[in-house]
Amino acid sequence: MPLKIPRLLSIAGSDPSGGAGVQADLKTFSAFGCYGMAAITALTAQNTRGVTAAYPVAPDIVAVQIEAVMSDISPDAIKIGMLATPDIARAVAETLARHEARNIVLDPVLVPTQGVSLACAGLEAALVANLLPLARLVTPNLYEASALTQTPLAGNADQMAAQARRLCEAGARAALVKGGDLSGEPVDVLFEAGEKRVFHGRRIATRHTHGTGCALSSAIACELAKGAPLIDAIATAKAWLEGALEAADSLRLGDGRGPPHHFFALWR
């Protein structure tokens, strides 16, 4: 009898240019040999140059999308990205809690690198109160970690670890604060079960970094769905993302920040 293919659900906004959001999540799921599903939380107008508009979906419509999937095809892991409003965050949390969803990776999308805001006022508090307690892992960048913990922007690994600890104290089982915006060598800091671990990475020379946060968190979720320990899941996801960034220039997409090459290992 064939092995069951890991099933992943993305709960996030739509990026019509395909570089971030549910489109990036679905590409990542496929790259990792997983079956991908999606519940749309917002429609955006964006491309490699930035975000020009965002239109949240009604919370009840987000909830029924999730309900339709959870009641029929139980996901092995769930990646949460852009939620846009506090009401959507609460609706997502209520639906997932009712279905006892597992392996939830929360990538708190708050402010894009370029363009209009993707978060309404009060979203940070709603994420902390409603979704952190459900999360197997939360993966904020430096700016998101600062906003969620209401502390100054971290400038080194020790400060990142302190913010990750605070996110765990707020309810997350583990927190990975991503340091790609640090100067010098990029480091990510994981805090889990009272312990800190630092992941060192390579700075890839490319401007095509649109959607890297979406891709990394989705890749981690894929590995968790396959049963990998969290540390191994993060290490595998980071190695894959470095390869995707190294191959990003070959896509030759757009005039701004294009996406990583999600299928660099599959397209020849």
What's the rounded Cα separation, in Å, for the pair 125 and 175?
Answer: 17
Residue 212's Cβ-count burial label (10 Å; 0-12, 13-18, 19+) is buried
DSSP 16: T
End-to-end CA distance of the chain: 31
> Which DSSP string do the residues of 31-98 spell out, in sequence order?
HTT-EEEEEEEEEEEEETTEEEEEEEPPHHHHHHHHHHHHTTS--SEEEE----SHHHHHHHHHHHHH
Does residue 36 contact residue 26 with C-beta atoms inside 8 Å? yes
Distance between CA 15 and CA 23 in Å, rounded? Answer: 6
Question: How long is the chain?
Answer: 268
Contact 236, 226 (CB under 8 A): no
Active site residues: 178, 209, 211-214
